[in-house]
A and B are shown apart, each in its own frame.
Chain A
Amino acid sequence: MDEQNEQTARDQERARMSQINLALGAFICFFGSVVLVSIFFTETFIGKMTNLVAGVILVTIGAIMVVRAKIQLRNS
């Protein structure tokens, strides 16, 4: 019985962490998209490239967090 309760608590904790990661990932992803959009407002080539790299980094981090969280949510 104790083991079962422990397992349930662990599952709840994992689900909670996944929900948090999902929210964070979505926000970082959105923020990266805004940086990517700002490429169109940039005049210099180096400026465009810097925005591109920064935006891609943010979107990638966010996307990884979202995907991982979704997988964990599905599994729990």
Chain B
Amino acid sequence: MISRPRSYVGRLVVPALSILLALLVASLLIIASGLIGPEKKINLLLPLIAYRSLLAGSFGSLKGVANMIVAATPLMLTGLAVGVGLKAGLFNIGATGQVLMGGFTAALVGVRMADASPAIAIPAALLGGIAAGAVAGFIPGFLKAYTGAHEVVTTIMLNALSQLAISGLVNDVFRAPGFSFARTAPVGNAALTGIGGTNLHLGVLFAVVCIPLSYWLLWRTTVGFEIRAVGANPTAALYAGMKPRRMMILTMSLCGAFAGLAGAIEIQRLGYYPAVFGTSIGFDGITVALLGQANPIGIMLSGLLLGAMRAGAPLMQIQARVPVEIIDVIQGVILIFLAAEIVVRRIFRLRAPSAGAGELQTITRTYGEKVTG
């Protein structure tokens, strides 16, 4: 029996509907937020006002667009950090820890080279971040391949470990004197500063290169073929003479490198590493990767979408008096609907996909599975 393969349009349906549903759910919250706002009354048009100012804030001006791209840059990278892993059947929840490792290392390199020429200092710090992220990804990859320890468990533990260890180091060993709070010395010439009066910076270039690079890697190279084969069917990959263990380690290292780069960019933009570096881009990467269907092009688009919301949120807060936290709500609800694909299909009476395992299955599959080869 021949069944219909999943078309490209079909792949877009669930993400698009998830966004739509999330906006609807958020509308209810925005309406309700009117009650605790300054006016203390229900305004049914408030969601429209909010969404309009959200759009105006991100697309309304050249500066807004620049902000959107700057906000989207790390999200695309952490999106790749999760998405490329999904292609190999790995659920990298550790982007957060990898971001911190990357950012911290970039800061250390930056501080060291603070007086070097920016042409050397900036790429050196970025590369430091990439390398540190790769190491942070290598560890769970190695543990998974040779002991079967599930990457979800190990990366969550590593997240806590990196955060506490780095924060301890910044509070103590690397603390710069003369500041009211614990932070490292400035990265000086390694800092990523705005270009042409906008917030656009050199790091954007690196991120923009990563998207086509990972697309090329996954779909045009033999290594990418192996990554995808291991992800889709590890036993068949072993049968075909591939090395699933090596591919897992390689892929996790690569994912870590993407996240490390994201961390480096964020820290070099900030100019120093603060002891309390609360960033959500690691976990946001999960939403970006799933919304983008683990496809680099999709990740770019969903990264831009979430970036636009982040960039437009301040204007929304000013114009509509809707708290920026609503963006987190929208993002969270999108994730819920993506994860509950079945629910979305029920609501819109869509037929289930006929063939091909979705990336979401990766999350629940392979638990406790011993890897050979």
Is B a genuine binding partner of A?
Answer: no
